[in-house]
Structure 1
Amino acid sequence: MGRHVVAMLGEIPPGCSKRVDVEGRPIGIYNVDGDYFALLDRCPHEGASLCRGDRIGLVQSDGPGHYSYTRPGEMVRCPWHGWEFDIRTGESWCDPKRTRVRAYAASVAAGEKLIKGPYIAESFPVSVDEDYIVVDV
Structure 2
Amino acid sequence: MTATGRPKREPARHVVARVDEIAEGKSKLVHVEGRDIAIFNVKGEFLAIANRCPHEGADLCKGNVVPLIESDDPGVVKLSRHGELVRCPWHGWEFDLRTGKSWCDPARTRVKSFDVAVEQGKRLVEGPYQTEVYKISVDEEYVVLEL
Query: Which one has the largest radius of gyration?
Result: 1
- What TM-score results when the alignment is normalised by the length of structure 1? 0.84
Deviation digits for residues 56-86 of structure 1 (CA, Å, limit 9, x no counterpart): 1111010211111112211101011110001
Q: How many angstroms apart in 1 are the aligned matches of 2:65 and 2:98?
A: 12
Deviations 1:7-66 (Å, cap 9, x if unpaired)? Answer: 012111111110000011000001101111110000011111000111111110102111
Which of 32, 37, 55 does residue 22 from structure 1 map onto?
A: 32
* 1:33 aligned partner: 43
Give the total of aligned pairs.
123
Higher strand content, 1 or 2: 2
Structure showing greater relative contact order (alpha-carbon pairs closer than 8 Å, 6 or more residues apart): 2
One-letter amino acid of the counterpart of residue 32, structure 2: V
Please name the residue that 2:19 is paired with: 9
Q: Which amino acid aligns with 1:113?
A: R
Distance 1:44 1:90 in 2: 11
Structure 1 runs not aligned, ≥5 long: 124-137
The corresponding residue for 2:133 is: 121
Cα-Cα RMSD: 1.3
Q: Which residue of the other structure, out of 60, 65, 73, is the alignment partner of 1:55? A: 65
**Identity level (%):** 54
Q: 1:116 to 1:95 in 2, by over 3 A?
A: same
Query: SS of 1:113's equivalent?
Result: helix
TM-score relative to the length of structure 2: 0.79
Q: Matches of 1:77 and 1:122 in 2, distance apart?
A: 46
Runs of 4 or more, structure 1, over 3 Å off, are none
Partner Cα distance (2:134, 2:53) in 1: 48
Structure 1 residue aligned with 2:92: 82
